[in-house]
A = this chain, B = another copy of it.
Amino acid sequence: MTDYQTIDVSDLSIFTINVFKSIGCSSRDAALAADVLLRADLRGIDSHGVARLEGYVRLYENKRINTKPNIRLSREKKGVFTIDGDAGLGLVVAPKAMETAIEKTFQYGNSYGAVHNSNHFGIAAYHAMMALEHGFIGMAMTNASPLVAPTFSRERMLGTNPICYAIPAGKQAPFVLDMATSAAANGKLEIAERKNLPVPEGWLETKNGATTKDPKDLKEGGYLLPLGSDKDHGSHKGYGLGALVDILSGVLSGASFGPWAPPFVSFLPVLPDMPGKGIGHFVGAMDIDGFIEKQDFLDRMDQWILRFKNAKPVNNEEPVIIHGEPEAEMHVQRAKNGIPLTGKVAASLVTLAEKYHIEHPFN
């Protein structure tokens, strides 16, 4: 029975900007980082919004984040490039990489960029959706804290390594697929743990490889399972997708990778002998007009979306969902009504307010 308080978006935004400024971010970077976090809350991805603000501050305090980074293009060849994030907030580094991909897409029709020496970048959808403003298709992925064991192993080797594609439509909401490559995102376990609820079998196993429904087993040395959960149900595919994200974001960029990916979660150590710098991302964009007449594409997307929404449902009360549509609806609703925070999240924000002597809107 969690207690909630609902905070106005602009109040929450001003507060978040002030926290980022307090740890040394420029006004511009603080506003951008806050925008990324607030977008998660607006879209209903509560695990990735201001609930993680204390996590970013903790990384700063542990000297793992440079709040005055010199983010720069370290290599390029026509449409492809690599960005050195200079240990900046991923919330700031990834949008910069995406801006570069968008500029280059105007020049070359498509562009993909790898990023090293970055940190946790928030929701992948924020970055991929930047391309939508230009009518492009956008893509973003990142490696992350090693929590997932490959098929046939019990060792935490991969992050939940999300993949996001954002694709514009006409009258319908854009198609935005933003998915962890594990059976369940870590955020879903955090939420179950906070509510003392069991999770489905197939999400994680204990450190001894036993089946468990207790989300707390992750912190006790257990590991998450890849999408597919077991070999019979295709966990080698989830493992393969997580590996792909790790290779493009980590190996190709010059970042750390696999079990060496520097962790965001505080219960994992930073390993010695890292093969690269920081967390890695991989972003990209493609110009639809190079494939098909733009309006024709938007009409076809609407046709696709309407046909799938009208696929015969198992229950009439539970229609087929189009990826990105529930989040777009939530965005409209929360922008108007405010963002609900659990007592625990609000308390973590009050602690930050007191630490940095910032006015705050929380009860």
**A interface list, Cβ under 8 A from B:** 75-82, 107-112, 114, 137, 149-155, 157, 165, 167, 175, 177, 179-181, 183-184, 200, 202-203, 209, 227-229, 232-234, 236-238, 240-241, 243-244, 246-247, 250-254, 257-259, 275-276, 286-292, 296-297, 300-301, 303-304, 307-308, 311-315, 318-321, 323
A318 touches B251 (CB 8 A): no
B240 touches A179 (CB 8 A): yes
B303 touches A275 (CB 8 A): yes
A-B contact pairs, 20 of them (CB 8 A): A79-B79, A80-B291, A82-B290, A110-B111, A112-B286, A149-B311, A153-B311, A157-B311, A167-B244, A175-B247, A177-B243, A183-B234, A184-B234, A203-B233, A234-B238, A243-B308, A250-B304, A251-B304, A252-B288, A276-B300
**Known contacts being A110-B79, A233-B202, A247-B304, is A252 close to B291, with CB within 8 Å?**
yes
Q: Copy number in this complex? A: 2
Assembled-state Cα–Cα distance A107/B323 (Å): 35
A236 touches B75 (CB 8 A): no
Closest to A276 in B: B300
**Known contacts being A109-B79, A240-B179, is A200 close to B233, with CB within 8 Å?**
yes
B307 touches A179 (CB 8 A): no
Extra A-B contacts (5), CB below 8 Å, given A75-B292, A155-B311, A228-B228:
A80-B286, A80-B290, A110-B110, A150-B311, A251-B297
Assembled-state Cα–Cα distance A183/B229 (Å): 11
Closest to A116 in B: B292
Assembled-state Cα–Cα distance A230/B350 (Å): 39
**Known contacts being A183-B233, A300-B275, A304-B258, is A320 close to B153, with CB within 8 Å?**
yes
B312 touches A82 (CB 8 A): no
> Which B residues are CB-close (under 8 A) to A151?
320-321
Closest to A304 in B: B251
A-B CB proximity, top 9 nearest: A77-B290, A80-B290, A78-B109, A80-B109, A79-B109, A177-B240, A200-B232, A153-B311, A155-B312
Interface-central residue, A179, A183, A184, A237, by most chain B CB under 10 Å: A237
> Which B residues are CB-close (under 8 A) to A137?
252
A301 touches B153 (CB 8 A): no
Interface-central residue, A78, A114, A179, A287, by most chain B CB under 10 Å: A78
A114 touches B291 (CB 8 A): yes
Closest to A240 in B: B177
Q: Chain B's nearest CB lies how many Å from the CB of A187?
A: 13
**Known contacts being A80-B287, A108-B79, is A319 close to B152, with CB within 8 Å?**
yes
Assembled-state Cα–Cα distance A275/B297 (Å): 12
Q: Chain B's nearest CB lies how many Å from the CB of A122?
A: 19
Q: Chain B's nearest CB lies how many Å from the CB of A219?
A: 19
**Known contacts being A184-B234, A244-B177, is A254 close to B153, with CB within 8 Å?**
no
